[in-house]
Amino acid sequence: MIKLKTKEEIAILREGGKILAEILATLKAMAVPGANTAELEKKAIALIKKASGQPSFKGYAGSHNDKPYPSALCASINSEVVHAPSTPARYLKNGDIICLDIGMRYKKLYTDTAVTLAVGEVDAKTDKLIDITRQCLELGIQQAKPGNKLLDIARAVQINAEANGFGVVRELVGHGVGYAVHEAPAVPNFYDSREEELELELKPGLVIAIEPMLTLGDWHVRTGADGFTILTKDGSLAAHFEHTVAVTEEGNIVLTEK
């Protein structure tokens, strides 16, 4: 069931989202050649604790049968699309790309955000993958306004991604967020006429995580040996950006920007 948020709750989500954006900015600055993901994890936990928040990913399990997620930060490198734990430590090297994905519970409400960045120097094709994925997020956010439908977000992402020659991951989608880490509705990055939920009208109070996931090659993915990490099937590079966005009467508020 979709649960709309009140204006007061959206104000709290904006407060927490702004803090989370500052935390992510600090982690981005640390992601340089020679750094390791455990250092990023330690910093993320310390900053969330300082803000009187709680990591929303660490210990998270989608169901009773799932293994609890082991880290506060997802640190997905190169062909890893999403959900790579930041521990145990892995060292970053020049030419890598890394997606930093982080969520926080703040005053009982959840926000979620992610960014992909180059570690040192990358080639032009990889740089374009990152840039277009960021652009797809921006285009998706533009469509998050009253009267539009989920399909408007999906089409905006898919059209731009495929026009630039990139694959759009289909097995993973965005989601509602706020009262829990994951809520209804699902927010796909591609259009499928068989998905009736794409006809959902966006109403004020809806809070969603929009998160395009693009690949340099084929869009199919697989799950890694750890049971958490999602990788491209063909080993091609992947990029992922995410913001938590509230639909309002005036349009929208990007809750996880500084």
pLDDT, tens digit, 9 for 90 and up, residues 14-63: 999 999 999 999 999 999 999 999 999 999 999 999 999 999 999 999 77
Tell whether 166 is covered by a domain: yes
Which CA distances in Å does 107 have to 12, 14, 114, 208, 252? 7, 11, 21, 18, 22
So what's the pLDDT on residue 78?
A: 98
Annotated binding-site positions: 83, 101, 112, 175, 182, 211, 242
Tell whether 129 is covered by a domain: yes
Rounded Cα distance, 194 and 171, in Å: 15
For residue 235, the enclosing domain spans 7-254
Question: What is the per-residue pLDDT across 119-177, written as a single tens digit (0 to 9) for each?
Answer: 999 999 999 999 999 999 999 999 999 999 999 999 999 999 999 999 999 999 999 99
| Tokens describing residue 232 | 């491209």
pLDDT > 80? residue 1 = yes
Q: 156, 113, 114: which is closest to 135 by C-alpha?
A: 156
Tell me the whole-structure pTM to 2 decimals: 0.97
Tell whether 1 is covered by a domain: no
Tell whether 138 is covered by a domain: yes
Annotated binding-site positions for a divalent metal cation: 101, 112, 175, 211, 242
Tell whether 181 is covered by a domain: yes
So what's the pLDDT on residue 194?
A: 85
The CATH number of the domain where 159 resides is what? Answer: 3.90.230.10
Rounded Cα distance, 221 and 172, in Å: 9
Q: Are 18 and 111 in contact (CB under 8 A)?
A: no
Q: 192, 221, 250, 191: which is closest to 76 by C-alpha?
A: 221
SS3 sequence of 117-179: EECCCCCHHHHHHHHHHHHHHHHHHHCCCCCCEHHHHHHHHHHHHHHCCCEECCCCCEEECCC
Q: Are 228 and 75 in contact (CB under 8 A)?
A: no
Tell whether 2 is covered by a domain: no
Question: What is the per-residue pLDDT across 173-215, written as a single tens digit (0 to 9) for each?
Answer: 999 999 999 999 999 999 998 889 999 999 999 999 999 999 9
| Tokens describing residue 97 | 């790309």
Domain count, the chain: 1
Tell whether 78 is covered by a domain: yes
Tell whether 150 is covered by a domain: yes
| Tokens describing residue 7 | 């204006």
| Tokens describing residue 147 | 């009267």
So what's the pLDDT on residue 64?
A: 73
- Which helix (H) or strand (E) segment holds residue 37: the answer is helix 37-50
Rounded Cα distance, 149 and 197, in Å: 9
Within 10 A of 54 (CB to CB), how many other CB atoms are there?
17
DSSP string, 202-254: P-TT-EEEE--EEESS---EEE-TTSS-EEETT---EEE-BEEEEEETTEEEE
Annotated binding-site positions for substrate: 83, 182
